[in-house]
Chains A and B, each alone.
Chain A
Amino acid sequence: MSKTQNAIISSVRTVMGWVPAQWLPGGTPDPLIERRAAIGRQASRLDGPLKVAGEARFAAEVAMDRLCYAALVHSPVTRGRITRLDTGAAETAPGVILVMTHRTMPRIGTLPLIGITDLSAVGNSSIPIMLDAEIRYNGQVVAAVVAETQEQADHAASLIEIDYAIDAARTRFQDARPDARTPASLLMDKNHVSIGNAERELKRAPHRVDNMYRTPAQNHNAIELHAVTAAWEGDSLVLHDATQMIAPSAAALAKLFGLKREQVRVLSPFVGGGFGGKGLWDHQIVAIAAARLAGRPLRLMLSREGVYRMIGGRSPSEQRVAIGADAEGRFTALLHTGYSVMPPYGACPEPYTLGTRALYGARSFEIMQRHLDLDIVPNTFMRAPGEAIGSFAVESAIDELAHAMGVDPIALRLRNLPERHPISGAPFSQHALGQAYAEGAKRFGWDRRHAEPGTVREGEWRIGMGCATGSFPYARMPGANVRITLRGDGTAVIACSAQEMGMGTATVQAQHAADRLGLPLEAISVELGDSALPAAPMAGGSSQTASIAGAIAAAATKLAGELLRLAGNDSPIAGLRAGEVQLVEEGIASIADPTRRESYRSILARAAREAIAVTAAGSAPLEFLKFAMHSSSAIFCELRVSAVTGEVRVDRLLGSFDCGTILNPKTAASQFRGGMIMGLGLALMEETLFDERSGRIMNPSLADYHIPAHLDVPEIDVIWTGIPDPRSPLGARGIGEIGITGVAAAVANAVFNATGKRIRDLPITLDKLL
């Protein structure tokens, strides 16, 4: 996140600008964009039968002989140090095997923080884990009790006595502002963008808005608790973990515990929801160390309160958005600045201004984020980090400007859609937000909206409509490897360490492989979730599908070469090169003359091979350094606000998406809806409440932190343009995170349309509407 990084990335982008597009990945569009059979089908999830029967095994569900259980003790103070530690009563409690504190914790290093230069750096916190007496945040783990049963461990944990010397702690967002830091970069982008003189343009503009927007801290709240089952086998470690970073975790743990990479195996075939929260945190390290000391396999499942207290969530933010527009509504100034929390020992900069750089053109820009340092569990990536809350501020501001100018908010947005990326000037690979708006508005019945707020009533209910743009960048990760095993019976196995957290990874990649290899869907099986398989990157940044797809495509090309070699001189395909053939109809055929073909079965039988296996990595993902690659969406909301209680009920929600090829309409619609529902939570109810005096979370339970329940969720309509992106594998861009973006603003804009009240402070709870 340094100036050096800015310089390197900027020069790579410059060079990419000179490189002809056809030399880059996607230079020739993926042939499967035009040739799809299994892709695009409404296939049901391959893991469906296991999941509905309760037979999918999650991390805390692996049976083991001599398994013992751990319970954790959390610090109730925010800043200070342990001065007295009495573990005597706990150690002699029934069933207790050992108590581990900073006195007995094996000496290990600290985790390198998640970064873009080292893919095995996946730490969310660089604070030493139970290695000293220092307390850095409220909830920090200070002791672990290991016992024969969970009940015994839980009870013994309550017997540990600890005294603390308490130091002054930084716990107030507002008090930290004078010491705010200005980072040089945000993930891969420069932090500060200044084009023209935006403040001057804003003052001169005939139309302008200039407001502050606030969003609270939030937690992922995957229903599966963070859990790990750790077993040492000699000097090798087997870890059944609930994680969205299987191979990177295995690499990081090997380094941390001084092991060889092949001595650590992380298994995570199913994850009960991740959303950014299921990374590498303190609990895995503590469990591994305690299992080592106990000399037995050990299970640790965090309590729900424990998840809130030691797994960070989304940072709160305070954002200024100002827009100036000329008489025609063209933006002359776009300013987006603000504050969020990022302690120096954390990894996530909550990049809420990144979306703003790509969406609208303007004559001048001023964009910059500042980080506040609080003594707090380090915040991390949560579904659409940045865009989810940044889009709330910007898309609310545009609605405010449209209202002030007396123009339709969709028309105002379309008037400012850029031809090229507004900051870098890079061409878009594919971009049809205008079409998404047109189709969404028609289907939703936007023309029935009354522009004047507060004019539609039904009894006590005020009714309103709102819309907003959502966006999320495309990403494909380097280092994605896949093994294809083609068997003599005409079936194939796709294997890599990728993660399945409900996105439908296995299902969609099976569909992909079927088309890529020219096999029926039933002939494909997919193995995931094991670091012993070829390494895949973490599931993050909506990048997994494109990353794995790129690797399968590369492996298929390698397979074609291997088959040609194996087929030899007696085959109808003899003499052809890899670039001259395609894999179709259960065999390999000349592209120029499809009658020259031989089936896989025939090639393998003649070579007396039961199977052939190839492993390949996807090409370097240079396409998104040359092109501006973004998914976007138009979100529409209709809701009611009670004039009596201030209660908001969302009646209709529609998402119109422009995300490239949709690989499986059934699972894709679920991804979109899932994101949009989390967006309803963001808009209306979700908030992690910190007691600013003590730094302790006040609502660490699903009873007090509200997420949308069935009655809060209307039927959600989802449509898409389906226009393939010519630069990406399969023409697809990620869809895991875009669903949440834009929803909070669409809801806030609908609330304004219903009531005339502009809420700039999430969540929009009823007290703010009375």
Chain B
Amino acid sequence: MAIRINGSDVAVPDDARVSLLDLLREGLHLTGTKVGCNQGACGACTVLIDGQRVLSCLTLAAQADGRSVTTIEGLGSGSDLHPLQVAFIEHDGFQCGYCTPGQICAAAAMLREVEAGIPSYVTADLAAERLTLSREEVRERMSGNLCRCGAHNGIVEAILRVAAEHAA
């Protein structure tokens, strides 16, 4: 029994009640994953499991057994930042920085969802060959990640910029 976290195998905790969030923060000191509500309402604890965005507060650690978890620490750090991390700094996509790791993890998975052609509530043409990532699409798709400082414009701008660079 093991969970692969940022490339390293970690044992599943003995206490079955331990959430993936608490395993990361309290067990492994991977405190880049944040806790804002512990009930799936704010998105601050978003991590990637096998590339998909997941709320780690609503995921028991045991449910991640045998799967691959990527946290903000695994996405990029120090001089090796992920393009989204760089763009968030450039476009001031945060103030206090607390919701930021969740926003960035969610954005990384969201861009892959768009590439895979998964539509959203605001997608106008469900039959289109390729989805166009409009500002509206980003806003809808990121609405599960709350920000209280009000960095929404910068977050959306940063994501659009990275998406455009990726497409180019």
Contacts and interface: CB of A to CB of B under 8 A. Distances in A.
Interface of A: 44-45, 47-58, 60-61, 63, 149-151, 155, 220-225, 270-275, 301, 303-304, 501-504, 666-667, 669-671, 673-678, 701-703, 707-711, 713, 715-716
28 contacts: A45-B92, A47-B97, A48-B88, A48-B94, A51-B97, A53-B77, A54-B32, A54-B101, A55-B73, A60-B25, A61-B25, A151-B17, A222-B96, A223-B44, A272-B34, A272-B97, A273-B98, A501-B95, A502-B94, A502-B149, A503-B95, A669-B92, A674-B95, A702-B41, A710-B142, A710-B152, A713-B150, A715-B153
A711 B95 contact: no
Contacts of B147: 223, 710
B81 A304 contact: no
Contacts of B96: 222-224, 270-274, 501-502
Interface in B124-158: 135-136, 138-140, 142-156
A189 B94 CA distance: 35
Interface string B69-89: 001110011100100011011
Contacts of B5: none
B115 interface: no
Interface string B13-56: 00101100010011001111111111111101000000000000
Contact of A502 (B18, B26, B97): B97
Contact of A51 (B18, B22, B42, B100): B100
A151 to B, nearest CB: 5
A314 B133 CA distance: 38
A702 B42 CA distance: 7
B37 A224 contact: no
Nearest to A54: B32
A44 B89 contact: yes
B138 A710 contact: yes
A675 B148 CA distance: 10
B97 A275 contact: no
A677 B150 contact: yes
Contacts of B140: 710-711
Contacts of B38: 303-304
A498 to B, nearest CB: 15
Given A52-B97, A224-B34, A711-B136, 10 more contacts: A52-B88, A52-B89, A53-B32, A53-B76, A61-B31, A667-B95, A673-B150, A674-B150, A703-B41, A715-B153
A454 B112 CA distance: 43
Given A51-B100, A53-B77, A223 B146 contact: yes
B9 interface: no
Contact of A676 (B18, B73, B150): B150
Of the listed residues A220, A224, A715, the one surrounded by the most CB atoms of chain B closer than 10 A to its CB is A224
B3 interface: no
Given A502-B97, A710-B140, A55 B153 contact: no
B104 interface: yes
B99 interface: yes
B41 A45 contact: no
Given A63-B29, A223-B147, A53 B153 contact: no
Contacts of B39: 304, 701-703
Contacts of B26: 149-150
B92 A667 contact: yes
A637 to B, nearest CB: 16
B35 A225 contact: yes
A702 B43 CA distance: 10
Nearest to A304: B37
B128 to A, nearest CB: 21
A676 B86 CA distance: 26
Contacts of B89: 44-45, 48-49, 52
Contacts of B77: 53-55
Interface of B: 15, 17-18, 22, 25-26, 29-42, 44, 71-73, 76-78, 81, 85-86, 88-90, 92, 94-101, 104, 122, 135-136, 138-140, 142-156
B98 A149 contact: no
A220 B148 CA distance: 9
Given A54-B72, A304-B37, A223 B101 contact: no
Of the listed residues A44, A676, A710, A716, the one surrounded by the most CB atoms of chain B closer than 10 A to its CB is A710
A54 B31 contact: yes
Contacts, number: 189
Contacts of A678: 148, 150
Of the listed residues A48, A61, A675, the one surrounded by the most CB atoms of chain B closer than 10 A to its CB is A48
Nearest to B90: A44
A301 B31 contact: no
Contacts of B78: 49, 53
A221 B144 CA distance: 16
A412 B49 CA distance: 58
Given A710-B145, A710-B156, A711-B139, A57 B150 contact: no
Nearest to B87: A52
Given A52-B94, A151-B15, A703-B41, A674 B149 contact: yes
Given A710-B152, A710-B156, A702 B92 contact: no
Nearest to B157: A715
Of the listed residues B35, B89, B101, B145, the one surrounded by the most CB atoms of chain A closer than 10 A to its CB is B35
A44 B72 contact: no
Contacts of A666: 92
A44 B87 CA distance: 11
Contacts of A58: 31, 34, 98
B72 A53 contact: yes
A107 B103 CA distance: 44
Contacts of B34: 54, 58, 223-224, 272
B20 to A, nearest CB: 13
Contacts of A50: 97
Contacts of A271: 96
Listed from nearest, the 10 A-B pairs whose CB atoms lie closest are A54-B32, A502-B95, A674-B150, A51-B97, A272-B98, A502-B96, A677-B150, A61-B31, A702-B41, A54-B72
A462 B41 CA distance: 32
Nearest to A666: B92
B37 A702 contact: yes
A47 B89 CA distance: 9
A151 B22 contact: yes
A49 B78 CA distance: 7
A372 B92 CA distance: 42
A223 B138 CA distance: 21
B36 A713 contact: no
B72 to A, nearest CB: 4
Contacts of A702: 36-37, 39, 41-42, 146
A507 B112 CA distance: 34
A134 B127 CA distance: 64
Contacts of A675: 150
Nearest to A715: B153
Of the listed residues B86, B99, B149, the one surrounded by the most CB atoms of chain A closer than 10 A to its CB is B149
Nearest to A52: B85
A58 B42 CA distance: 18
A670 B151 contact: yes
A402 B36 CA distance: 44
A713 B139 contact: yes
A421 to B, nearest CB: 31
Nearest to A670: B92
B50 to A, nearest CB: 20
Given A44-B89, A44-B92, A225-B35, A270 B153 contact: no
A676 B139 CA distance: 17
A272 B31 CA distance: 13
A678 B146 CA distance: 12
Contacts of B98: 58, 222-224, 272-273
A227 to B, nearest CB: 9
